[in-house]
Structure 1
């Protein structure tokens, strides 16, 4: 199974997840949103699995810097458009394990997911 981690290189949570994977000898590919971007099909797939509310990181600096107008009336369509325009609003990391995805990093969740692969 191919494992892909999505995020940005300077994110502390992404760094912790990458160290955890390396320490457990788990091979993965890293996809940096800032370098490679993110396409709508992938975002829609993630959203269909976990919901846009889980993916949108309202605590992110990028989200907090949005205008009041952009934050008002936030629904699925608007949230997805914002995440595509500014992928740093997506909670990090997103880990694809085949058809399954994990959002955020919790060592115990990663451990369980890797054992099940």
Structure 2
């Protein structure tokens, strides 16, 4: 089963959801702000994804800018970054889509085509 972490007001999440629906991909949707993944879940997603941990941050979000993370992240260790991500769902790049060893952060049609078909 595919787990789809999203934020209902996010236009990118809506595009990704439409893509999943159009391609008949079954998923469980989880509100990323109300029920963010735990630090250990994020760690597992990060390790499975092959992506840089910084790719899991919602760099266009207000919270990211408020906390000045653009400049601060480079000096943070992995544990601190994981704790920060787990502390606030709005800091996590969305949608975050997970199934088994497959993980995508954000929505790009070409990436979804490779990962979720």
TM-score bin, normalised by smaller chain: 0.7 to 0.9
**Structure 2 CA distance for aligned equivalents of residues 101 and 33 of structure 1:** 15
SS at match of 2:14: helix
SS at match of 2:33: helix
Q: Deviations over 1:50-74 (max 9, x none)?
A: 2311112233211101157x93633
* TM superposition shift of 1:92: 0.8
**Larger Rg: 1 or 2?**
1
Matched residues, number: 113
SS at match of 2:67: coil
- Which stretch has the larger CA shift, 11-20 or 30-39? 30-39
What residue is the counterpart of 2:30 in the other structure? 31
**Structure 2 CA distance for aligned equivalents of residues 114 and 13 of structure 1:** 16
What residue is the counterpart of 2:5 in the other structure? 6
SS at match of 2:103: strand
**Structure 2 CA distance for aligned equivalents of residues 113 and 77 of structure 1:** 27
Output the aligned Cα RMSD: 2.0
Q: TM-score, normalised by structure 2?
A: 0.83
Q: Is the 8 A contact 1:17 1:93 kept in 2?
A: yes
Q: TM-score, normalised by structure 1?
A: 0.83
